[in-house]
Amino acid sequence: MEKFSFPDSSTGKIDFNDSSFFQPSTGSSPVLPSPATVRQEWHKLGRHTRAIQFEDLGLVVKFGDPQSVRLEEAQAMKAIHQAFPNKEVPVPELFGWRVDQGQNFIYMSLVEGSTLREIWQLLTQDEKVSLRDQLGRIVAALRQLRQDPKHQYIGSVSRGSVQDLYFYGEDEAGPFPSVRAFNDWVQSTALRLPISQRPPDPYRAFLPDSCDICFTHGDLNLGNIMVSGDPGARRIAAIIDWEQAGWYPEFWEYCKALIAEPYWHEWRDAGWSDTFMKTYPDEWVAFSEYWTWKRP
C-alpha cells in the first residue's frame, strides 16, 4: 500500500477522470452533480439519508460534515480499488469529491443489490455458506496488504489519525508509531482516568503489543455487505462504508465485526463470523470490556 499515491484530501474539488463515470460511450462530457443539486435531492427525500442516489447516473453521493463524512474514506476506497484491480476486494468505484460550505461530498458508483441484513431471512443455508466463503476470500485478500516494515504505523490509509468509531468524540488519536502505543490509547480512552488514578486493569494484558498491522475495514457487518444475484446465485457485489478503514492491529477487524451485531444473531450466536476470519478470543474479551466502559 505504501507504493500508492493518495489524492490530497486538502483539495476541495477533484474528479477522477480515469473512472468509468468519465468514460461514456455516447461521447458526451459527463459532470458530477453539484453540492447544491445533492442538497436539493436531500430535501426532496425528507432529510432521511446522507447517501443520495442518482440512479440514472449510476451514482451515489455521500455527504455531511467532516466528522461524519471524512475524505479519508474516499482515499481508502481509491487505495483498495488500485490494490485490487481484479476486484478481489469489491468496493464502490470512486468518481470524485467536493468540499462545499463546510461539508464533504464523496461521489461513488451505485452498487446494485441489497445489504446482507436486508435479505438474511430470505437466504437458504447453502446461500449463507456460499456468501460466508466469499467473505472469507475477501478478508483473506485484504490481509495480504502490508506496510513497508521500515515505516509502520497505525492510522488512516494516508498516515493520518485513526478513523475508528471507537475513538469518536476523543481528541484526534494517532497516528500511532506502534501497536503498544495504540493499545495504551485504547485502554486510556476507556478508563478515562489519569494513570495515577486508574484501578487495576486485568484486561490490558490481553491486548498483544507485538502483532501484525493489517489493513482493516473496521466495520464489517450485515449492513455493509452488498449482495446481488438471484436466489441460488448470490454473490457479494461490494463492501461499502469504508469510513473507519485504515491500518490496525491484526485483531481489530475481528473485534469490530463481533461488536457490530447483537449477540443473539446468527452472525455471533451461531459462530458465523468466526468462520470467515481468524478469531482472537482473548483480545475480544479486552475489547468488549473497554467498549462497554466507553459506552455506558
Here the CATH number for the domain that contains residue 86 is 3.30.200
Domain boundary (86, 109, 132) is at 109
Q: Which residues lie below 8 Å from residue 59, measured CB to CB, with a gap of 6+?
A: 21, 32, 33, 53, 95, 107, 108, 109, 110
Is the residue at 277 inside a domain?
Answer: yes
Is the residue at 219 inside a domain?
Answer: yes
- 134 and 59 fall within a common domain: no
In this prediction, residue 44 carries a pLDDT of: 87
**How many structural domains is the chain composed of?**
2
Here the CATH number for the domain that contains residue 255 is 3.90.1200
Distance from C-alpha of 43 to C-alpha of 62, rounded to nearest angstrom: 14
Q: Which of 265, 287, 268 is nearest to 218 (CA)?
A: 287
Domain boundary (63, 83, 109) is at 109
Domain range for 148: 114-294
Q: What is the mean pLDDT of residues 98-121?
A: 96
Is the residue at 7 inside a domain?
Answer: no
Burial class (CB in 10 A: 0-12, 13-18, 19+), 43: exposed
- 207 and 268 fall within a common domain: yes
- 267 and 170 fall within a common domain: yes
Q: Write out pLDDT tens, residues 195-233.
A: 666 677 889 999 999 999 999 999 999 999 999 999 999
Is the residue at 215 inside a domain?
Answer: yes
Distance from C-alpha of 231 to C-alpha of 167, rounded to nearest angstrom: 39
Distance from C-alpha of 19 to C-alpha of 60, rounded to nearest angstrom: 14
Residue 147 near residue 247 (C-beta atoms within 8 A): yes
- 137 and 273 fall within a common domain: yes
Distance from C-alpha of 284 to C-alpha of 290, rounded to nearest angstrom: 10
Q: Write out pLDDT tens, residues 114-173.
A: 999 999 999 999 999 999 999 999 999 999 998 988 889 999 998 999 999 898 766 668
Q: What torsion do the CA atoms of 220, 225, 231, 235 make, to the nearest 10 degrees?
A: -90
Is the residue at 257 inside a domain?
Answer: yes
Domain boundary (74, 109, 144) is at 109
Q: Tell me the whole-structure pTM to 2 decimals.
A: 0.92
